[in-house]
Structures are given as C-alpha cells and as structure tokens.
Structure 1
C-alpha cells in the first residue's frame, strides 16, 4: 500500500466519523499543524501515523481494525466514564459516593445518551 492509499483511507474514515482536524489533534494529543501536514501527505513521524490511524480504527495500511459502530461505542463509553467519574469524585468528597452497581448504571445511561441524543458532541474532547 502506498502513502497515498493510506491517506485516502484516513480521509474517508475521517469524513465517515465526522471528525475535524481540531478533534483529531486533541484526541491524539498532537498539534493541529502536525495533523494538517499528515493529511496533506507531508512527511511525519511514524508515531503520528500510528496515533491518527489508531484513533480512526485503522492499522498502518489503512485497514479497518474497528468498525465505525465499535469506535462510537468505545468513544461513548470513554466519555461516559469521564463524566460519571466527575460526579463520583465530587460525591465521594461529600461521602455520598455511589456503589459499583449504581456507577455502572450511570455509565450505561450516559453512554446511551452520547450515542443517541448527543452524537454531535461524541468526538469533541
């Protein structure tokens, strides 16, 4: 596979998911300029290629390692865990923390909310 083939697959996946350069940069902990250079076909570090392709559920050759549905499920769960952990940390300080069963229920509810009601904010970091 050529670099051009990889870039085409990355661009296609980026459009399918609806990610912006800014989203990719933030979620992969890279700079906007680095992402712009990569997407323009300029030389970048292998670690940059790895970070971007991994984020998009692709391997180094641009082959799908995770479906878009799996990516969305994973991202929704990450965000849900983060949001619930904020509530749990605050509640714990007030000695009103939730047990594991309640936490898991809140995580699932938040995950479903991200997937169905707040999908536009799914990839915003």
Structure 2
C-alpha cells in the first residue's frame, strides 16, 4: 500500500465520522501542523500515524478494526461518562451525590443524545 492510498483511506474514514481536522488533532494529541503535513503526504513519525489511525478505528494499513457504529458508541459512552462526572462532582461537593442507578440512567440518556439526539453532530468535538 502506498502512502497516498493510506491517506485516502484515512480521509474517507474521517469524512464518514464527520470529524474535523481540529478535533482529530485534539483527540489524537497531534499538532495541527503535523496533521496537515501528514495529509499533505509529508514524512511523519510512525507514532503519529498510529495515533491518527487509533482514533479512527483503523490499523496501519487503513483497514477498519472497529466498525463505525462501535466506534461511535464507544465515543458516545466516553463523552456521556465525562458529562455525568461533571454533574456528579458538583453534586458530591454539595453533599447531594446521586445513586448509581440514577447515574447509569443519566449516562444512557447522554449516550442516546450523542448518537441520535440533538447533540449527534458534536460527538467528535474534543
């Protein structure tokens, strides 16, 4: 596989996930300059390629190792847990922490919002 073919596969996956360059840079912990160099076909470290492909659920050859649906569900769960942790932390400070069942319901509701609700377009916002 050529570098150009790999870049095209990664671009395609990025488009399928509707993830911006800025968010891909933040989520993969790569600078925008480095990311732009990669997409321009310039040499970058293998660790950079690995970070990019991991975020997108691909292997080094650009083959899917995590399906789009599973990748989206995983990201929705991560974001939902983060959002609920913010609520729980604030509530705990006020001595009003929530029960586990309530937390689980909140996580589920946030997940659904990130997958198909009004926040679905914000799934990949870092």
1:22-45 Cα deviation digits (max 9, x unpaired): 010011111111111111111111
SS in 2 for 1:19: coil
SS in 2 for 1:6: helix
SS in 2 for 1:72: helix
Which segments of 5 or more consecutive residues in structure 1 lack a partner in the other structure?
A: none
Mapping 1:43-122, distance limit 5 Å: 43-117=43-117, 118-122=119-123
Query: What TM-score, normalized by structure 1, do the two folds share?
Result: 0.96
Deviation at 1:2, TM superposition (A): 2.0
After TM superposition, the runs of 4+ consecutive aligned structure 1 residues lying more than 6 A away are none
In the comparison of the two structures, how many residue pairs are matched? 125
Q: CA RMSD in A?
A: 0.9
Matching residue of 1:22 = 22
